[in-house]
Structure 1
Amino acid sequence: MSKKSMHLSIVVITMILGVMLAIQFRTNRNMELGVTADRAQEMVAELARLESDNRKFDRDIDDLTFKLEQARKGQTQARDAITDELNKAKMSAGLTPVTGPGIEVVLDNPDSSSGIFIRDEYLLKIANDLKGAGAEAISVNGQRLIATSEIRLAGSFININLDRTEPPFQILAIGNPEKLKSSLEISGGLVDYFRELGIAVKTQTHSSVTIPGYNKDLRYDYAKSVKG
């Protein structure tokens, strides 16, 4: 082979190799670009999904926050309702101090020479008449009368709620002042009865009186609450 032919062959081979390398490079480049585009598309789709999930989570958080606030309000309302009922129960039982319009009755013994003295039954009669006239709370010498209160003569003293008391006896009652007063001062009523005995009695209405709560322990040794 002549030098000229050899040179021509080398040139042809070189050109062929160059073309092949160019084709290979372009193919690889296109493949790389194709993978990057696919990945970018996947990332865009993933981002859209995450954004959608985030919006859903935000809605869920708002919904749960609203429900939590409603639950807290419900708990507060329930607690307030229970507290209100408890306070009403305590007031009805006579365990809390109360105030309101009412009447004051004062009984005192006559002179010791008369041999007349105030008996426990007199205080019970007054309490019963006041209750019958709608008294909502009654106290005698600062002792609140409740369902289990005891008024009992003990020698020259009268025990009220196991506390020793003596004249003068101040009875306070909360209710309609005029109605309470009339129930005692009715003709032939207790006021007339006490005055006939020589016992000093005074009644006076008030726009506001304060009666203390029962301050002793409540014990029930035999009575039990009924369940169901």
Structure 2
Amino acid sequence: MKQRKLRKLNLKKKANSNRVILSLVSLVLGFMVAFSFRLTQDEGDNSKGLTDRQWEQQLRLRNELNEQEQKNRELQKELHAKQEKVRNIETNLSKEAQVFFNMAEDAEKYRMFLGKVKVSGEGVKVTLADGEYNSKEENINNYLVHEHHVFKVINELYISGAAAIAINGQRIAHNSYILCTGPVITVDGYQHPAPFEITAIGDPNILSSALNITGGVKDQLVNDQIVFTLEEMKDIKMEPILGN
């Protein structure tokens, strides 16, 4: 009887002990669950805050990029405007350079025409000689070269583009004068006997064609009993006119 009561008492104590242990376990589990939930919530909040900061940073960078692109577009417009300005300046300079080149070229032509500079180049040589005298003719002057014959050749050469002309090596200028005195002609005070060699610097083909044209200068002089000889020259040199 006593043993049965003792056994019941032990069982009761054991049950109470199990109840206490179960309560402790439940308490620990509850704490762990609560802590885990809180930890998860904190981590979620932290994750959400980090995403916001990233978004703000991305938005800021995007705005900065847009601003930079806008500045780049403005700089490109400015660059295009300056490039257009440079092109306009280059065009104007090119035109001015062409004008200056033309002026320099014209000035050189005028200096050559005035006899201020030494010149050389290809051209032609025209020789005018007195015709063979016919004793049956009363007037010998009909067979002589006169100044108007020389003038015809010179004028035709200038019209055809001759840059410089000389008579018997004496260069003539824009204000030169030619006079005929019997069998000789006087050029700017210097006398020259026949035959008269007229040299001209220019395109030999053009000069020759102009003189040889049918009914032109050559035919007219030949009809006047003048011996006319034309020769194309590779190199003609003329010194500047001194004291002019």
Taking the aligned partners of 1:97 and 1:194, their CA distance within structure 2 comes to 31
Match of 1:101? 122
Shift, 1:92, TM fit: 4.3
Q: Which residue of 2 aligns with 1:144?
A: 171
Verify: 1:175 aligned to 2:202, yes or no.
Answer: yes
Structure 2 SS opposite 1:181: helix
Q: Percent identity?
A: 29
Aligned partners of 1:130 and 1:188: how far apart in 2? 16
Q: Residue 196 of structure 2 aligns to which amino acid in structure 1?
A: F
- Secondary structure of 1:106's counterpart equals strand
- 1:29-51 C-alpha deviation (Å, 9 max, x unpaired): xxxxxxxxxxxxxxxxxxxxxxx
Q: How does 1:1-228 map to 2 (within 5 A)?
A: 88=108, 90-113=111-134, 115=140, 116-215=143-242, 217-218=243-244
RMSD: 2.0
Task: Answer with 1 or 2: which has the greater Rg.
Answer: 2
1:148 aligned partner, one-letter code: N
Q: TM-score, normalised by structure 2?
A: 0.51
Q: Does the Cα contact within 8 Å between 1:141 and 1:169 map onto a contact in 2? A: yes
C-alpha spacing 1:177/1:153, structure 2 compared with 1 (3 Å): same
Which structure has more helix as a fraction of its residues? 2
Deviation at 1:156, TM superposition (A): 2.9
State the secondary structure of the residue aligned to 2:206.
Answer: helix
1: CA distance, partners of 2:184 / 2:116: 25
104-113 vs 186-195, greater mean Cα deviation: 104-113
When the two structures are superposed, what TM-score results if normalisation uses the length of structure 1?
Answer: 0.54
The Cα shift of 1:111 comes to 2.2
Instruction: Measure the CA separation in 2 of the matches of 1:95 and 1:135.
Output: 16
- Contact 1:152 1:158 (8 Å CA) reproduced: yes
Q: Which moved more, 1:194-203 or 1:105-114?
A: 105-114
Number of residue equivalences: 133
Structure 1 residue runs without a partner (length 5+): 1-83, 219-228
Contact 2:128 2:196 in 1 (8 A): yes
What is the CA-CA distance between 1:207 and the residue it aligns to? Answer: 2.0
